[in-house]
Structure 1
Amino acid sequence: MKEYSELPLREKNIVLIGFMGVGKTTIGQLVAKKLYRDFIDVDQEIENRHHMSIPAIFEQMGEDYFRKVERELIVDLCTNKRLKVISLGGGAYLQEEVRNACLSHCIVFFLDLSWDCWKERLPLIVNNRPVLKNKTLEEIERLFLQRREAYSIHNSRLLTNDLDPETAANQIVESIKWTWEVYESNE
């Protein structure tokens, strides 16, 4: 069997990264449907396996435990699965091992959103995001900017400020198909 990193580009997983609340799950589900792939939301997968919510895992077992479980799951998905669309939690990509596995074995799309557009979403997500709990707007902005630096290491970036999920998904699919064609024509 071929080494996983040597898989044809068409068989590699597509990984969506970006700050919490940018639409990775919604857009990822649409991309998966358009490419006839399975969709995996890492946070939902962890919740299913633990039979509890991410906030409950943070509260009962701690963030270190959550990050370990998250890292092991993502590395396994990246190295042992193919033809998936995978949505990472907002903090997952900060882990070097996760970043390396994603970049080595998958196509990584950064779903980017400006701070001004993102903070309009804050009231919708603040209550179910443990890392935002009890933080001021300034602290959240620092976290947003800090994580953006890690997200800057990717294969492709899509600015989603003025895009609805369907348009964003279409743009990702068009980009992927174009890349496949260019890659295959150069083989």
Structure 2
Amino acid sequence: MGAYSNIPLRERNIVLIGFMGVGKTTIGQLVAKKLYRDFIDVDQEIEKRHHMSIPDIFEQMGENYFRKIERELIVDLCTNTRLKIISLGGGAYLQEEVRNVCLSHCIVFFLDLSWECWKERLPLIVDNRPVLKNKTLEEVEQLFFQRRNVYSIHNSRVLTNNLDPETAANEIVESIKWTWEVYEPNE
């Protein structure tokens, strides 16, 4: 698991990845509560630190600036904190440095959702996702599958198609506890 594999599994941050709108924040908050950990939504943290919404940062400073501050924050969280549940924005994991630091320091869960199920959520999320702005459904579908290829590099996957957030969170918690028992039984 990379240079910092000496971090005990029980202390590693748990990182949730997946396409925008799959429920990373909602499920992450539930997982945090169940494991008595702090929850950090990277997008919300950026908005708090910069006193601007993500769409405003995209509009005023550009996507490159956003990706830079996003990467810096994630690298900092992964290398300098433990025992957190961290939800990444949909595009963050596309950055190689972000992927590498998450995989070497944390436990990465991919919240997967089929295109058919995700498409039903589009009207609810399109307005506050700058990456979706002015895109056709075909372009969004292409983005969905491009990103899904990158998300396939993870430690564990939860298919959320027919799961409510509570059930998805329970699956993650059970998986984590099982991993702790198998790989660190004497802790």
* Same fold flag (TM > 0.5): yes
The within-5 A match list for 1:97-176 is: 97-176=97-176
On the 8 A contact 2:4/2:104 being kept in 1, the answer is: no
Query: Alpha-carbon deviations, 1:33-69, whole Å to 9, x = none?
Result: 0000000000000000010100000000000000000
Q: Secondary structure at the match of 1:5?
A: coil
Q: TM-score, normalised by structure 2?
A: 0.97
Q: TM-score, normalised by structure 1?
A: 0.97
Deviates more, 1:31-40 or 1:4-13: 4-13
Where does structure 1 differ by over 3 angstroms across 4 or more consecutive aligned residues? none
Task: Give the drift of 1:134.
Answer: 0.2
* Structure 1, unpaired ranges of 5+: none
How many residues of Structure 1 are paired with residues of Structure 2 in the alignment? 185
Q: Matches of 2:148 and 2:4 in 1, distance apart? A: 28
Task: Give the drift of 1:4.
Answer: 4.4
Aligned residue type for 1:39: F
Aligned residue type for 1:171: E
Task: Give the drift of 1:5.
Answer: 3.4
Q: Percentage identity across aligned positions? A: 88
Q: Secondary structure at the match of 2:153?
A: coil
* Structure 2, unpaired ranges of 5+: none
Q: Matches of 2:134 and 2:31 in 1, distance apart? A: 34
Aligned residue type for 2:86: I
Q: Secondary structure at the match of 1:108?
A: strand
On the 8 A contact 1:4/1:80 being kept in 2, the answer is: no
Tell me how large the CA RMSD over aligned residues is.
Answer: 1.1
Q: Matches of 1:75 and 1:93 in 2, distance apart? A: 11
Report the counterpart of residue 85 of structure 2 in structure 1: 85
Q: Matches of 2:176 and 2:184 in 1, distance apart? A: 12
